[in-house]
Structure 1
Amino acid sequence: MQAILAERSIVRATLAGIPKRDRDDVEAEVFLAAWRAVKRDTMDDPFVKRALLEEDLTGPRDIVLGESSLDEMRIGLFNGFVKN
């Protein structure tokens, strides 16, 4: 969980367009979803296994964030809003 929380500044920057009153709740959901994905042990997921085989990989690899890397292009956060 510490590795996930270490990315808090990136998540907060991504959430800048969300109303302030909702940011903490959305941030919590992002981190809970990431934690659940880790706990679910995605390596047992048949879709992950197939994707790794297609890329000729034996397991997940670390990605690098920053200007000099294209890895972060694989990270996405999708927002949706419903008017009440």
Structure 2
Amino acid sequence: MEYLDGTHPEWEEMWQQLADDPLNDGDPLCINQGLTWEYMGSSADHHNFRHSKHPKSGRIEHVYLERTRSASAIGWA
């Protein structure tokens, strides 16, 4: 697991992907009772996010977004 900071090239794209998730209706934060989406880290394949009390469901939610890879990182290309 690695943690990307705000200067990482994937940062803006992963937050936009989170906003685009159907659960979020275009909102990358989904503020509810002072709680928002939290970036938990990234694996080689996914970015992981957690919300402690999502405004739509009222419960803990997890979203795993597929991580963008360059063509050179694909083994068969």
Greater helix share, 1 or 2?
A: 1
Greater strand share, 1 or 2?
A: 2
**Does TM, scored on the shorter chain, surpass 0.5?**
no
User: TM-score w.r.t. structure 1 length?
Assistant: 0.30
Larger radius of gyration: 1
Give the number of the structure with larger relative contact order, counting CA–CA contacts within 8 Å between residues 6 or more apart. 2
